[in-house]
A and B are shown apart, each in its own frame.
Chain A
């Protein structure tokens, strides 16, 4: 299980220690997840079971999907500060229209992906800072969510509930889902030729343009993929919580960014790793609540735990990178 993305590999170095450092760096997301799991197993061995994982990783699927969504924009050197409220908006649509008027619901969700694609085009054409545009959009999604569902409530469509409460044999569903998400996105982004172009738009946009690729198109595709995974995240979330609330996704913006970075992604240069991002999301999902509960740390410090993990992992990465040189 290696989380090294081909794109994150610098030119091969003759020195073995540098190669080892690179491997270590690639394994860092998996190591941090393992560390959290070991801590949980040590504090409460009974949690490491089919039932325990189902419970602990309950919310990991939507977090992983939102993290993948964020990863696509980060691959293009942009940042989406609206993904949290977008997930909330999708949740509200899922719990209302998608159940009562499926056709309308589907159209609205596809339309919202279209809005993401348009944002990508707008950001590219006008050379706008994505932080500000998406920060503005976060208000739009939140407002729309309140308009769709003024009061917490609604109900998830039955088929969605059925999917999310699926109990496969032996492997807990959240882990199975995480594996599938990671495998699909890894294949699409790291193993296909257009995936290379997409990452290249973040790595060296000028070179891509000279090679004749449309940067407008790559940006539109990256943003549309973000929208698509945001929609999946919102639907998965409602499939678990069964009802919605306009603020349900607000925490996902920061979680998703943290997950991408934990997973070895970098803000610039198109260096991202889908497998790492999923691992990062799982680490955050586990560290945020189950670990703290077992350590008898009050929920007040949940957010701090996320911050501390980020800082520790980044510090570890700096130590490793130093050896890489």
Chain B
């Protein structure tokens, strides 16, 4: 019983509870039909939210005002870069992935450069950067109709025993991210900066370097995500990343990470990612129209934030 109470006190448990409730509601509606397939589909779609969510989580943990609004544009551009470099041939998959990674990391580095050089709030820096990236993408990706190499498309859709391989790899990645956050100097520094940037600086944390690394990491994750999305949906697209602006921020907050910074939570990102995807599946299964689906998604996000936001009164 004590261990159960300990689990219940974890902030991330509620996102998993939410995901489970939504899943059960859908299964009850369909009378048990497609229960397993739904989990498979949810896992494969949640992966993309989780990857950028982890990046966004590190950025948000840096403290109030830190948020990366350039992720959708970043994902869009990286998806085009990956497809162009791969050029539809299996031999170029790794090069294409590296190119997308480099593209994303460069965007992240530029974001921090703007924040540092212009001393402007990250929201405006990443926003202005996203304007420019978006245009580069529109111009670069115009009429781009390159299909992903068959090997890459198969890899992103590959399942073993109903579990997407990409999801397994992402679980490994998130465990790594959790270790980096809690056990490595880098992660501890991020948390310290988020709690009190001045105290962290006085304590000898390389504030500038850590922030630079974090924005670059977030950008790189956006880049990889773009490449994987292009593989999964069989083609790059300017708008491919659009939904990940809300999703990346929402999974961080729903997952129990403090928006005020200094308190991060990796498992919650998975729970919240699954919750969002399953929520969408549920609303689709109920057969509601696009308008109602959007309204309900929005209201549920606002509702969850309202329910979860109470304790953060101390800043």
Interface residues, chain A, with chain B CB atoms under 8 Å away:
79, 122, 126-129, 131-133, 135-147, 150, 254, 257-258, 261, 267-268, 298, 300-308, 310-311, 314-315, 318
B interface, size bucket: 35 or more
Q: Which chain B residues lie closer than 8 Å to A136 at the CB level? A: 246, 250, 297-299, 301-302, 305
Please, what's the 1-or-0 string for B301-315, where 1 marks a CB less than 8 Å from any CB in chain A?
110011001101101
- Known contacts A132-B253, A304-B134; A147/B301 CB under 8 A: no
Partner of B67, one of A126, A131, A138, A314: A131
Chain A residues, CB < 8 A from B299: 136, 140
CA distance A307 to B118 in the complex (A): 14
Among B118, B123, B128, B297, the most chain A Cβ lie within 10 Å of the Cβ of B128
Complex-state Cα separation, A308 to B302, whole angstroms = 33
Assess the A310–B298 pair: CB atoms within 8 A: no
* Structural contact, B118 and A315, CB atoms closer than 8 A: yes
Given contacts A129-B309, A136-B305, 11 further A-B contacts (CB under 8 A): A132-B250, A133-B302, A133-B305, A139-B294, A139-B297, A143-B293, A146-B294, A258-B127, A258-B128, A302-B135, A314-B120
Asked if A257 and B295 make an inter-chain contact with CB atoms under 8 angstroms apart, the answer reads no
Question: Is A261 within 8 A of B124, CB to CB?
Answer: yes
| Partner-A contacts on B (CB < 8 A) | 65, 67, 114, 117-121, 123-124, 127-132, 134-136, 138-139, 142, 245-246, 249-250, 253, 259, 289-299, 301-302, 305-306, 309-310, 312-313, 315
Note all chain A residues with C-beta closer than 8 A to B118: 311, 314-315, 318
User: Cβ of B250 and Cβ of A135 under 8 Å apart?
Assistant: yes
Q: Is the CB of B124 within 8 A of A146?
A: no
Chain B interface, >50% SS class: helix
Contact of A304 with B289 at beta-carbon distance under 8 Å, contacts A127-B312, A132-B250, A143-B295 already known? no
- A79, A146, A308: the one contacting B291 at CB < 8 Å is A146
Q: List residues of chain A with CB within 8 A of the CB of B138.
A: 300, 303
CB distance from A182 to the nearest CB of B (A): 22
Instruction: Decide yes or no: A300 and B294 within 8 Å by CB, A132-B253, A138-B246, A267-B123 being known contacts.
Output: no
Residue among A131, A302, A308 having the largest count of chain B Cβ atoms under 10 Å: A131
**Closest approach, in angstroms, between the C-beta of A175 and any C-beta of chain B?**
26
Whether the pair B135, A301 counts as a contact (CB closer than 8 A) is yes
A258 and B293 CA atoms in complex are apart in Å by 30
* Cβ of A32 to closest chain B Cβ, rounded Å: 14
Q: How far is the CB of A191 from chain B (nearest CB, A)?
A: 28
Contact present for B132 and A307 (CB under 8 Å): yes
A141 to B298, CA, bound (A): 9
CB neighbours (8 Å) of B305 from chain A are 128-129, 132-133, 136
**A-B interface contact total, Cβ < 8 Å:** 145
Shortest Cβ distance from A140 into chain B, in angstroms?
4
Complex contact A304–B135 (CB within 8 A): yes
Contacts of A133 in B (CB 8 A): 302, 305-306
Residues of B within 8 A of A258 (CB): 124, 127-128, 131
Question: Residue on B with the closest CB to A135?
Answer: B246
Asked if B313 contacts A254 (CB within 8 A), the reply is: no
A315 surroundings in chain B (CB, below 8 A): 117-118
Contact A147 B289 (CB under 8 A): yes
A249 → chain B closest CB, angstroms: 15
Q: Which residues of B contact A254 (CB under 8 A)?
A: 127, 131
5 A–B contacts, CB within 8 A, in A order? A131-B249, A133-B302, A140-B299, A301-B139, A304-B134
Q: Which residues of A contact B301 (CB under 8 A)?
A: 132, 135-136, 139
CA A257 – CA B120 in complex, angstroms? 13
In the complex, are the beta carbons of B306 and A300 less than 8 A apart?
A: no
State in angstroms the CA–CA spacing of A128 and B135 once bound together. Answer: 33
CB distance from B301 to the nearest CB of A (A): 4
Smallest distance from the beta carbon of A146 to chain B beta carbons, Å?
4
In the bound complex, do residue B139 and residue A300 qualify as a contact, i.e. CB atoms below 8 Å apart?
yes
A267 touches B250 (CB 8 A): no
Assuming the contacts A79-B123, A258-B127, asked whether A142 and B294 have C-beta atoms less than 8 A apart, the reply is yes
Interchain nearest-CB distance for A104 vs B (Å): 18
Q: Are A267 and B294 neighbours in the complex by a CB distance under 8 Å?
A: no
Considering the complex, give the chain B residue whose CB is closest to the CB of A261.
B124
B110 to chain A, nearest CB (A): 10
Cβ–Cβ < 8 Å partners of A311 in chain B: 114, 118, 128
Q: Give Cα A261–Cα B122 distance, bound, in whole angstroms.
A: 13
B249 to chain A, nearest CB (A): 6
- Contact flag A267-B135 (CB < 8 Å), given A132-B249, A132-B259, A318-B118: no
Q: Determine whether the beta carbon of B306 is less than 8 Å from that of A128.
A: yes
Task: Give A305 to B132 CA distance when docked, in angstroms.
Answer: 7
